[in-house]
Amino acid sequence: MFKKQNARLNSKGNIGRLPDAESLKNSMAPCPPICLLQRVTFIIMDSMKLNNVAVLFFDLDNTLFDHTRAERATLLQLLRAEPESFAAIDAANFLELFHKHNATLWQQMSEGLVSPEELKVFRFEWTLRDLGLTYPSCKELSARYLQRYATQTFALPNMLEVLEYLAPRYDLGILSNGFTEIQEQKIANIGIGSYFKYRIFSGAVGALKPAPKIFAAATRAAGVEAPNALYIGDSYKSDIIGAKSAGWRAVFFNPSGEVITDSIADVEIFHLQELMDLL
């Protein structure tokens, strides 16, 4: 993370920060002076792409809340809680199958092919089917999963630091695919509810990202035009394509280093703290 000491004005007239050469030297691997200059130049250029932003909306899962860790922990808790039913299951195989079927079902739900209640049950039915197992009630198993999942408290590194920096400077919102009551509980669990003026969930809107409808709901709630809204998310397909298709600016949070050919994101970052350099 760059330690920034030079001040600049962002699009709302607030003081932002830019890295100086000394802080770059202290925070990064050895680099020739020309390399340091290039890095500062790239930050300034990226920051200029985000001028005139009035509101920032964040994705929740795997952008602020660590959904991957929470899902894994919850599923393992379920398996361990019922050894008489699941002792013979290879946990890694179960997790892989669940993840695959869950992704398929979310896509089908976005296309109107399955309902939210069907998704919750089918992802367990399909996983156990592939393992050659049956369970007395996958509906009850799903309910126990959601109950446990909603108690998880995994947050992304440096998330609170970034929100503390941004909240006085911009109106903030969350725009997330997910079941409203579960998403609200996760927000409470990681202690970030007070930072967000707007909360837009697909379950309430009736549309999933990347559909324009959910982004339009967010701009209406915030009272801004699409070009003045910025979205930060980790899914290129759902978050970046969705936001850009709706006329927003978009920051692709890409901690895994996924390679995207001809990316349409305005800016790509690999650590949340980079937002403090840009905004």
Instruction: Out of 4-18, 96-110, 145-159, 205-219, pick the least confident.
Output: 4-18
- The superfamily CATH assigns to domain 51-64+155-278 is HAD superfamily/HAD-like (3.40.50.1000)
**Residue 70 pLDDT greater than 50, yes or no:** yes
Say how far apart CA 10 and CA 48 lie, in whole Å.
9
Average pLDDT, the chain: 87
**Over the Cα atoms of the chain, what is R_g?**
21
Write the pLDDT tens digit of every residue in 81-102: 999 999 889 999 999 999 999 9
pLDDT of residue 12: 37
Helices (H), the chain: 21-27, 33-48, 67-81, 83-86, 91-110, 116-130, 138-149, 159-166, 180-189, 202-205, 212-222, 242-245, 275-278
Architecture (CATH level 2) of domain 67-149: Orthogonal Bundle (1.10)
pLDDT of residue 50: 87
Tokens of 60: 């929740």
Rounded mean pLDDT of 55-75?
A: 97
The residues spanned by each domain of the chain are 51-64+155-278, 67-149
Say how far apart CA 13 and CA 15 lie, in whole Å.
7
Rounded mean pLDDT of 150-179?
A: 96
Rounded mean pLDDT of 112-138?
A: 95
Rounded mean pLDDT of 139-162?
A: 96
Pairing of strands 15-19, 4-9: antiparallel
- Between 201 and 43, whose confidence is greater? 201
Number of H helices, E strands in the chain: 13, 8
C-beta separation of 150 from 185 below 8 A: yes
Query: Three-state DSSP class for 57?
Result: strand
- Full-model pTM: 0.82
Write the pLDDT tens digit of every residue in 214-224: 999 999 999 99
C-alpha triplet 44, 46, 52: angle, nearest 5°? 95
pLDDT of residue 180: 93
| Dihedral sign (CA 63, 237, 263, 8) | negative
